Structure 1
């Protein structure tokens, strides 16, 4: 891109593009959608993706440059890059997952991101993408409104702490039986085309499909429902898409089990309060390792720790590690959670609390320590 500032547009041109964005779940949903699409084509190499999650302009360009002849691109797209991809790539499908506070020192207020999506979709008009959007997220709904066509997915979201106010008029939203509505204007939760209930997804025709996933958690069933809707919008038969998604195991190291030092560890990524709310229930080992940093990729401000309900770890032993382990320790003390502090990531996995665990120890980490753990465990 330094040699040719217009390279990204040229690399996006003449491909069928599916773009996936949102605060949480981009990487896993991109892997699920890629697997679904690849299952439908004769040559898997005809589908290019940025599998490791490099989702800014340079990462997308690098992935596309590595496979210049691939006719289909499934792209994880940072929230700040969505407008560029809509403008330059004219994606066939755009998946919008959710919005929550994340790295506010870089991303600023989430409504500004939603506004950029909305403006880009307005500008694209009738040549814009089919949007697969989370009907449970008011800001996603508001952002997707101008799209020429929207496929709404009821994901059953449980996190609404970042969606108290109407993005259209600022009124306090009303919630009733998991639905939301604005009393001050016409913005309301749309009627869903796809609905997730447990392991099942129903489609616009009333057909019900069972999700057979190898990635855990309620939120990944929601991700899979969005991937299924996007795959079908691209012409992939439902069963073909489901069979493809069933092959996804540990996208970019998430949910993988690795050996770190002499300990076995199952790795979970959580970057913000919403992600922690979904990941903490998946950590079931008696000892849990929590790794925290505040590098640029994590977000400099860790005050979000006070919005995470660490109280649910009471009765277990927690090892707090990473450069901001002391900040986490203060939060755990207030939560009444027994813990030890070991700021050095490698040393944390030599502690007896970890090495004596029978079976893998669950590890929840923010982005930077997660990437280091992938390398320590031979996953990257």
Structure 2
């Protein structure tokens, strides 16, 4: 689309009510949740909504999705971090959801503060014409990036990963955690050297529930697993309400989402069934490893352009928590993972071919948990007939 018409992106994003979702992790699932919430709120007018549901979130992917629905006046757009500034300028989104910011594919994205600065500058340029931002208050880089937004809805989404939030993005000082309590075991973050600090939330996630601005507490009852998906749902809920959807309608829509773009689906490969979990970076792996429940697990690793070519991130992941399980390492970079597991003292075997690795776990309790980086995950979806 953009090769035939280089200006297609800018042309196609104009004249629609747009809700955009961005961040390092959770974009696809959050976009599916938000789209489902808006469909539930629209009822029979669901055809008005277009979304890039397969996760194609760069300029050409967004343009392609919009070109297929020229009459849709509502759009939920999963947006790559590098596209956010252009979308703010060209599309004037009504709502922009900013989930989190952490290291991801550093050979392509390099320093993440550079991207955050582009968001900050785009929001400042947009001024009063800019979007309402739904922002993760637990993330210092997100907080800094949205300081210039015209209005921010803060969502407290506790995370297992804080290694990319050590230094203050405003002044470079070392961030501190203050006021720990049973509800916030890590405490709120604060910079003692400048005014940047964690904001009081409008929406708050605690123990699998979502506290709303009016004091109500709701149980999302999601069909996708993990505490991180409750956080994704809280952000989607805040965005849906801002778009005019009622809370109950939004929650009803959430409960129709089961396996967004194949994530968390249980797929069959001959005599083996596997629950497929996509993880692309240390923060994602930190959350996904907590979901593993089977004694044998398969971990698939590659490092081509779509995965990020640098696999040094393996040493930032707490694979030690897999002690007591048996891990089958597969994919072109399986031996890199095996070295990391050796140091973690985790039992493992290496089966380079993905299909052979699945056959190697035929005797394990089914379904087998399988975590994969992006490229093997796409191959798995094709093998299972899910794509």
Short-chain TM bin: over 0.9
Residue 7 (structure 1) shift:
1.1
Residue 281 (structure 1) shift:
1.2
1:328 alignment partner, one of 334, 337, 349: 337
Where does residue 172 of structure 1 map in the other structure? 174
Residue 355 (structure 1) shift:
0.2
Where does residue 63 of structure 1 map in the other structure? 65
Where does residue 273 of structure 2 map in the other structure? 264
Query: Unpaired segments of 5 or more residues in structure 2?
Result: 181-186
Is 1:19–2:20 an aligned residue pair? yes
Where does residue 201 of structure 1 map in the other structure? 210
Q: Secondary structure at the match of 1:312?
A: helix
Where does residue 117 of structure 2 map in the other structure? 115
More moved, 315-324 vs 199-208: 199-208
d(CA) in 2 for partners of 1:156 and 1:64? Answer: 34
Partner deviation per Cα, 1:278-306 (whole Å, 9 max, x = no partner): 00111111110000000101000000000
Residue 44 (structure 1) shift:
1.7
d(CA) in 2 for partners of 1:68 and 1:191? Answer: 40
Q: Secondary structure at the match of 2:41?
A: coil
Is 1:100–2:102 an aligned residue pair? yes
Partner deviation per Cα, 1:188-222 (whole Å, 9 max, x = no partner): 00010000112211122212211110000010000
Residue 158 (structure 1) shift:
2.5
Where does residue 44 of structure 1 map in the other structure? 46
Query: Unpaired segments of 5 or more residues in structure 1?
Result: none
Residue 3 (structure 1) shift:
2.7
Q: Secondary structure at the match of 1:115?
A: helix
d(CA) in 2 for partners of 1:257 and 1:332? Answer: 26
d(CA) in 2 for partners of 1:208 and 1:273? Answer: 31
Is 1:253–2:254 an aligned residue pair? no
Partner deviation per Cα, 1:295-324 (whole Å, 9 max, x = no partner): 101000000000111111111111000000
Residue 229 (structure 1) shift:
0.2
Q: Secondary structure at the match of 1:185?
A: coil
Where does residue 297 of structure 2 map in the other structure? 288
- TM-score normalized by structure 1? 0.98
d(CA) in 2 for partners of 1:256 and 1:45? Answer: 26
d(CA) in 1 for partners of 2:5 and 2:25? Answer: 32
Q: Secondary structure at the match of 2:50?
A: strand
Residue-pair matches, total: 378
d(CA) in 2 for partners of 1:3 and 1:286? Answer: 51
Residue 146 (structure 1) shift:
0.4
d(CA) in 2 for partners of 1:375 and 1:304? Answer: 27
Where does residue 360 of structure 1 map in the other structure? 367
The runs of at least 4 consecutive aligned structure 1 residues that moved more than 3 Å come to none
Residue 240 (structure 1) shift:
0.4
d(CA) in 2 for partners of 1:145 and 1:203? Answer: 22
d(CA) in 1 for partners of 2:364 and 2:160? Answer: 31
Is 1:298–2:307 an aligned residue pair? yes
RMSD of aligned C-alpha atoms?
Answer: 0.8
d(CA) in 2 for partners of 1:339 and 1:261? Answer: 23
